[in-house]
Amino acid sequence: MRLLEEKIKKDGRVLNENVLKVDSFLNHQIDPNLMNELGKEFSQLFAGEGITKIVTIESSGIAPAVMAGLYMNVPVIFARKRKSVTLTDDLLTASVHSFTKNETSELAIAKKYLNENDKVLIIDDFLANGQAALALVEMVQQANSSVAGIGIVIEKSFQPGAQILKEQGLRVESLARIASLSNGEVTFITEDMEELI
Ligand code: G4P
């Protein structure tokens, strides 16, 4: 998505070869107009899938997910992160290890918000190793709901997440795909590059 790529080029900061900082519009301060466009794009990409709910993870997935929910006219559920989940009776749970932050969190969604008739779109801000998305898929499956697809704002295509998810037969749509963060520069995957992959 051209608008997002331009925003990343203009306001993103490459911290190192693995990490892109986008605190000024996505991870801390939020650009509502950009979120609106991201939500519209997700709703167009997944139109016709019969989506009934959107599931994301706190905190940075919430803004793009809510805008998508507005365009698709469906509720948005965010998985909560807790240090440990002890009472799990009414909860769907999964644990997720972040390689980027080197920490493990327990995720929880109240069972009452998902059921077997739901077709779920999972949305998240970053796709790196795919662990967060896989944990969300696991919770959706615990509810016997189906996963219609995964919408990602920024995919770091040089990390294995996208491939892992696609190998599981999941539809992944990323609005910006980063081929590399080498030499302090963001290089996106263009359509010509895609033909070579
Ligand atoms: P994975 O879920 O794809 O396996 O990714 P990973 O464990 O490596 O990343 C976990 C956390 O780090 C997520 O945030 C994710 O959004 C964030 N992250 C991963 N790569 C980058 C990056 O290059 N830049 C930035 N800014 N964040 C990155 P989180 O722990 O869920 O935090 P929150 O911001 O959503 O609260």
pLDDT per residue as tens, the chain (197 positions): 999 999 999 999 999 999 999 999 999 999 999 999 999 999 999 999 999 999 999 999 999 999 999 999 999 999 999 866 666 779 999 999 987 778 899 999 999 999 999 999 999 999 999 999 999 999 999 999 999 999 999 999 999 999 999 999 999 999 999 999 999 999 999 766 765 55
Probe target for ligand 1 pocket from 26, 100, 125, 172, with the most ligand atoms within 8 Å of CB: 100
CATH number of 2-196: 3.40.50.2020
Q: Which residues contact 96 (CB under 8 A, 6 or more apart)?
A: 104, 105, 107, 131, 132, 134, 135
* Any atom of ligand 1 within 6 Å of the Cβ of 99: yes
Three-class SS state of 61: coil
The DSSP output letter for 18 is S
* Any atom of ligand 1 within 6 Å of the Cβ of 159: no
Residue entry with tokens 């980027």: 100
Three-class SS state of 142: helix
The protein residue whose alpha carbon is closest to atom 5 in ligand 1 is 128
Interval between CA 100 and ligand 1 midpoint (Å): 6
pTM, two decimals, is 0.94
Interval between CA 61 and ligand 1 midpoint (Å): 10
Closest ligand 1 atom to residue 156 Cα is 23
How far apart are alpha carbons 157 and 70 in whole angstroms?
28
Is residue 11 left, alpha or beta, with left meaning phi > 0 and alpha meaning psi from -120 to 50?
alpha
Task: Write the secondary structure of 145-194 as one string of H (helix), E (strand) and C (coil).
Answer: CEEEEEEEEEEECCCCHHHHHHHCCCCEEEEEEEEECHHHCCEECCHHHH
Q: Longest C-alpha distance within the chain, in Å?
A: 50
